[in-house]
């Protein structure tokens, strides 16, 4: 885990799935944020799915950075959904009072995709 911060990006239908693979140092989190927003813009997707299953700590910095991603993507006109948040991380976020912006959380990828497709056909 020397250079914490790898992430993967996959296009599914007209949606972008962005997945941080491991714990992110602050610099990596900021780089990930910029990377996601650039890809959202360049690949002209209709939706962004943020998979947070690889994140074991969401502190105030990480929460703010995720919030910047979700709020900025929404401003770009893209629907944003979050999947994979670990229950223990969710509990900790609630206790801390960390929020990640206006997002639609889903339990898994299937439900997220269904939601995004429904939004699309409106």
Residues of this chain that interact with another protein (CB under 8 A) are 1, 4, 23-27, 56-61, 63-64, 86-89, 91-92, 95-98
Q: Which is nearer to another protein, 98 or 116 (CB)?
A: 98
Three-state secondary-structure class, residue 89:
helix
Which of ligand ATP, another protein, none lies near 39, with the C-beta cut-off 5 to 8 A by kind? none
- Burial (CB < 10 A; 0-12, 13-18, 19+), residue 95, is exposed
Binding interface with ligand ATP (CB under 6 A): 60-61
Q: How far is the CB of 34 from another protein (least distance, A)?
A: 16
* Helix or strand holding residue 64 (H, E): helix 60-75
Which of another protein, ligand ATP, none lies near 114, with the C-beta cut-off 5 to 8 A by kind? none
HSE, CB side, 13 Å, CA atoms: give it for residue 122. Answer: 9
Q: How far is the CB of 80 from another protein (least distance, A)?
A: 20
Q: How far lies 25's CA from each of 33, 52, 92, 101, in Å? A: 12, 15, 19, 21
Contact 55, 87 (CB under 8 A): no
Q: How far is the CB of 95 from another protein (least distance, A)?
A: 5
Which of another protein, ligand ATP, none lies near 58, with the C-beta cut-off 5 to 8 A by kind? another protein
């Amino acid at each position: 885990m020397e250079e914490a911060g790898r992430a993967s990006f996959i296009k599914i239908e007209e949606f972008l799935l962005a997945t941080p693979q491991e714990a992110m140092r602050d610099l990596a989190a900021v780089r990930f944020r910029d990377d996601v927003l650039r890809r959202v813009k360049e690949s002209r997707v209709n939706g962004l799915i943020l998979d947070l299953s690889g994140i074991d700590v969401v502190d105030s910095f990480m929460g703010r950075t995720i919030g910047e991603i979700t709020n900025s993507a929404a401003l770009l006109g893209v629907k944003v959904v979050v999947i994979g948040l670990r229950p223990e991380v969710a509990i900790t976020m609630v206790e801390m009072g960390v929020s990640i912006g206006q997002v639609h959380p889903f339990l898994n990828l299937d439900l997220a995709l269904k939601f995004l497709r429904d939004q699309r056909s409106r």
